[in-house]
Structure 1
Amino acid sequence: MAFHDPHPVHKPSTSRKKIIMNSYGLEKKCPDKPERPKNTAVIRSVARLPILLTNGAAAHAKIISFRHLSDNGEHFALQFERLTTDVPLVRLHSECLTGDALGSARCDCGPQLHEALQRLHQEGGLLLYLRQEGRGIGLYRKLEAYCLQEQGLDTFSANRALGHKDDERSYQVAADMLYALDIPKIRLLSNNPDKANQLMDAGIHIAACLPTGVYCNADNSDYLSSKVRFTSHAMELPRIYKDTP
């Protein structure tokens, strides 16, 4: 049921550190064999979940719930078993009701989710679906931030105006889930350097950082530009011009 690293996990000596350069150009010290935290989550339930992909193909996955996650949230994992490598591909996807379920064009969350499901179906791996709506501020506060954005604020300034940080998400819970699944080493599918940094700080070995596609349109171009400017997302944006009235 779980992916297993072929090497046992143990505490590395301080002399055995290696420097990894990820695709964002960030240099981080990461232990060769990360130390497993003393208190980790455990698997609660596993069920089979057929998924209809956007291209019409049918995928088969396992949906996994957990106990004792660090934030007690109802996060879950989708495990696709067609592995093409010993180091699984992993996508951390923060919940976005408006983008994931309603198809909102204000963000790129929905297309990124569908891309991840397609890639994981093709080569196996894990999608960790994290209940972190609105970069951790919740749905209602996100909708209030939308109202401020319509008055001219960017996505991060709107969060600050509501008394929130630019990004309130912690990815420790994702590390909890990976350890519960006995996966200390991954290939990360993300444009967000903060995900890689937080996972490495939690002891997860990032073997590679793989970028997602860039889903830019006239409605989300300002939003994506803000992510590049404020949080150093690794994206090359096309020039998009909004329609003028």
Structure 2
Amino acid sequence: METTAAPATIRTRVNIPLHFPDGYETAAQVHTFNGLTDGAEHLALVLGDPDPAETPLVRLHSECLTGDVFGSARCDCGPQLREAVERISERGGILLYLRQEGRGIGLYNKLDAYAIQDSGLDTYEANTVLGLPEDARDYTAAAQMLAALGVDSLELLTNNPDKVRGLRDLGLNVTGTAPTGVFATGTNLRYLEAKVTHTGHSIALASLAA
């Protein structure tokens, strides 16, 4: 079903040079918005030189302060963000940086869930113990942002089938998906395994053991 949310509008466009710790550099045209349904300060980064005649590559990246900023090895969010920026820059497309810390439960709750995971539960079980949804994210604002940018058809850079379903339910034409890389370490393997077994993420963990 299509969203009934009012259209969002572009509030600001600003060019920002990006520089990553490994030396990779690119440029982004960063967009802010008015009228997003959840009132959050989400960002759209237009990367590379998108061809209006081609289907853009789009990544919905949920904010992860611990991984994106501090380089936490408990998840794969930081490496996914770094990879997405380069791949989208090469092809041309959009990275939506969504303020959905901890799959939508917030930073403090995410850290509380980390403490519970240290007792042996996985990331989804820990949320349940806290009385929170396993995944509280809603992609209506993402659909509004894409509409404001004139995008109604896209290829999604993701391993998460829920993102595909979410955008399609909101009326967007997701023509296909491109999987992200596998960024498994000794400290995030249980987290990645939970995403594969619990929510069907297409992460090729089996190939690591081969």
2:139 match: 171
In structure 2, which of residues 158, 165, 174 is the aligned counterpart of residue 190 of structure 1?
A: 158
**Residues 103 and 222 from structure 1, CA distance in 2 versus in 1: closer, same or farther, beyond 3 angstroms?**
same
**Residues 69 and 38 from structure 1, CA distance in 2 versus in 1: closer, same or farther, beyond 3 angstroms?**
closer
Bigger shift: residues 48-57 or 179-188: 48-57
Aligned pairs for 1:5-154 (under 5 A) are 39-83=6-50, 86-154=54-122
The structure carrying a bigger helix percent of its residues is 2
Please list the CA deviations of residues 185-214 of structure 1 after superposition, one character each: whole Å capped at 9, or x if unmatched: 001000000000000000010011110001
The one-letter code sitting in structure 1 at the alignment partner of 2:155 is R
The one-letter code sitting in structure 1 at the alignment partner of 2:25 is A
Please list the CA deviations of residues 20-47 of structure 1 after superposition, one character each: whole Å capped at 9, or x if unmatched: xxxxxxxxxx9xxxx7857211100000
The one-letter code sitting in structure 2 at the alignment partner of 1:191 is N
Structure 1 stretches of 4+ moved >3 Å: 35-38, 238-241
The one-letter code sitting in structure 2 at the alignment partner of 1:205 is N
TM-score, normalized by length of structure 1? Answer: 0.81
**Residues 200 and 239 from structure 1, CA distance in 2 versus in 1: closer, same or farther, beyond 3 angstroms?**
closer
SS in 1 for 2:17: strand
User: What is the alpha-carbon distance in structure 2 between the residues aligned to residue 80 and residue 240 of structure 1?
Assistant: 31
The one-letter code sitting in structure 2 at the alignment partner of 1:230 is H
Q: Does 1:230 align with 2:184?
A: no
User: What is the alpha-carbon distance in structure 2 between the residues aligned to residue 115 and residue 48 of structure 1?
Assistant: 20
Is the CA contact (8 Å cut-off) linking 2:17 and 2:25 kept in structure 1?
yes
2:189 match: 221
The one-letter code sitting in structure 1 at the alignment partner of 2:93 is G
SS in 2 for 1:188: strand
In structure 1, which of residues 192, 195, 210 is the aligned counterpart of residue 178 of structure 2?
A: 210
Please list the CA deviations of residues 116-137 of structure 1 after superposition, one character each: whole Å capped at 9, or x if unmatched: 0111121110000000000000
The runs of 5 or more residues in structure 2 that have no matched partner are none
1:161 match: 129
User: What is the alpha-carbon distance in structure 1 between the residues aligned to residue 143 and residue 161 of structure 2?
Assistant: 15
**Residues 234 and 143 from structure 1, CA distance in 2 versus in 1: closer, same or farther, beyond 3 angstroms?**
same
User: What is the alpha-carbon distance in structure 1 between the residues aligned to residue 45 and residue 78 of structure 2?
Assistant: 16
SS in 2 for 1:79: strand
TM-score, normalized by length of structure 2? Answer: 0.94
1:11 match: none
The runs of 5 or more residues in structure 1 that have no matched partner are 1-29
**Residues 157 and 209 from structure 1, CA distance in 2 versus in 1: closer, same or farther, beyond 3 angstroms?**
same
User: What is the alpha-carbon distance in structure 1 between the residues aligned to residue 45 and residue 26 of structure 2?
Assistant: 11
User: What is the alpha-carbon distance in structure 2 between the residues aligned to residue 155 and residue 239 of structure 1?
Assistant: 23
User: What is the alpha-carbon distance in structure 1 between the residues aligned to residue 173 and residue 43 of structure 2?
Assistant: 21
